[in-house]
Amino acid sequence: MSRVLVANRGEIALRVIRACHEEGLEAVAVFSDADRAAAHVRAADAAVRLGPPPPAESYLHIDRLLEAARAAGADAVHPGYGFLSERAAFAEAVTAAGLVWVGPPASAIRAMGDKTEARRRMAAAGVPIVPGATAPVADATRAVELGHELGFPVMVKAAAGGGGKGMRVVREPGELPEALQRAGSEAQKAFGDPSVYLEKYIERPRHVEIQVLADAERTLHLGERECSIQRRHQKLVEEAPSIALDAALRRRMGDAAVAAARAVGYRGAGTCEFLLADDGSFYFLEMNTRIQVEHPVTELVYGVDLVREQLRIARGLPMRVAEGRAPDGWALECRLTSEDPANGFLPSTGRVTHLRVPGGPGVRWDGGIEAGDEVTRFYDSLLAKLVVWAPTRELAIDRMRRALDELVLVGVATNQGFHRRLLADPDFRRGAIDIQFLERRPDLTAPAEDAALDRDLAVVAALVEDHARTARRPMPPGAGAGDGWVRRARLDALR
């Protein structure tokens, strides 16, 4: 294994390319016409065009990806996350073509990809699962009967799902037939499979996931990530560790995740997701058989490069991670998306005319965009991940607030203002959160009254910096793009 085709785009493609280079491997990028000049394309050792912008004609086209690998002389494929990363058929096609698949065996992907099959396997392995069906439910009458057995409210979930797609909370029996139909239709569009099942809806739990890593000899866990800040089942902020876990609970949940991975013969990096109740009881939700969007927070508190370990394990080498590691410090990740809070969080498109990335101690920017890039309607709205580390949770929150204040992105609407409001909220700061937290706090997701002013300030900040560069003169002593001088300059310009 010497040349890896990265079957993805954006920040995760760039992340994998960098890991390949650090491992002494060459990296091949793929791109659609919309991404011809993207950062991941320029960072790679070679790049191959896939086709037009629609994913079905580019990043989701298995035959074209395999053709690209052959054309570029790649001998391995890393799928990143999203797109084809959890498609067993893609993993099988890669290995059938004589290439190394940087991920778990197709059998593990298939076992965990079918949520009802995964529930059966987890129950057999002694992993606690949410009470519910172990087979898809298509008949509305049977669904109502099962709902009464479980006790309302219940959750309708896509059997082949993930990422919040094909999910409906049902509080009354009469709501079930429509929920089944809508969830099934959404599941068909998202996953090509309309099958849904029912499980008990747990009120106000935390969403806590455990990172696992497995090579041919060992399977271990690298602690938890708190992922309870969600909007419509989509994660917005993640942190590691979780304020809700002590060492004993971390060990119990970690042991369950390791048992889950072993039950399907897992290899590589994966994540077991759990619901955690106030009494310390927890229930298996699903396993993501890929690298997670939020993997950087685990890397920062455990001192491990998960993508490099993926590459190493795929080469048949043992992982370089010791057993029994404890988390060191606290890490937070804010997902920066091109979604407009003033327009119901609908995607925003346009050209990024100015971008200034925050820096300083303990700040990490995992992004795939640059000034001049076009944000299109074809792909996920994730632009970048802003990640920080500090010795304590309180200090990490303060550092993230500072980093968000430094960030300047002009050209598309983003959720930057939401992150600012959240991190200033007293309930969030003391860790009083659960997966329904944002449902109870519409004040945090609704645009602030000064949202227009915030946008104007960002524009003026960009103009001030551009003028300073053009004039080739430094800012006044002690003045930076996020400090009081620039804030006063921007406010003066708005008056």
Q: Could you give the CA distance from residue 34 to residue 16 in angstroms, rounded to a whole number?
A: 20
How far is the C-alpha of 370 from the C-alpha of 357, rounded, in Å? 10
Catalytic residue from among 121, 206, 225, 290: 290
Looking at the DSSP assignment, which residues form a beta bridge with residue 198? 156
Verify whether residue 308 is a known catalytic residue. no
DSSP 121-188: HHHHTT--B-SB-SS----HHHHHHHHHHH-SSEEEEETT--TTTTEEEE-SGGGHHHHHHHHHHHHH
Cα gap 234→488, rounded to integer Å = 36
| Contact status, residue 172 vs residue 148, Cβ threshold 8 Å | no
Q: Which of 419, 423, 86, 10 is nearest to 231 (CA)?
A: 419
Beta strand pairing call for 330-337 and 282-288: unpaired
**What is the rounded CA–CA span in Å between residue 334 and residue 325?**
25
Distance between CA atoms of 87 and 110, rounded to whole angstroms? 8
In sequence order, the β-bridge partners of residue 337 are 382
| Of 482, 491, 416, residue with least CA distance to 460 | 491
Sign of CA dihedral 104, 105, 110, 116: negative
Enclosing H/E stretch for 111: helix 106-113
Rg (CA), the chain: 23
Per-position DSSP letters for 418-487, written without gaps between them: HHHHHHH-HHHHTT---TTHHHH-HHHHSPPTTHHHHHHHHHHHHHHHHHHHHTT-PPSTT--TTSHHHH
Residue 115's identity, in one-letter code, is: K
- In three-state secondary structure terms, 238 is strand
Which burial class, exposed, middle or buried, applies to 425 when counting CB atoms under 10 A from its CB (0-12, 13-18, 19+)? middle
Please list the active-site residues.
290
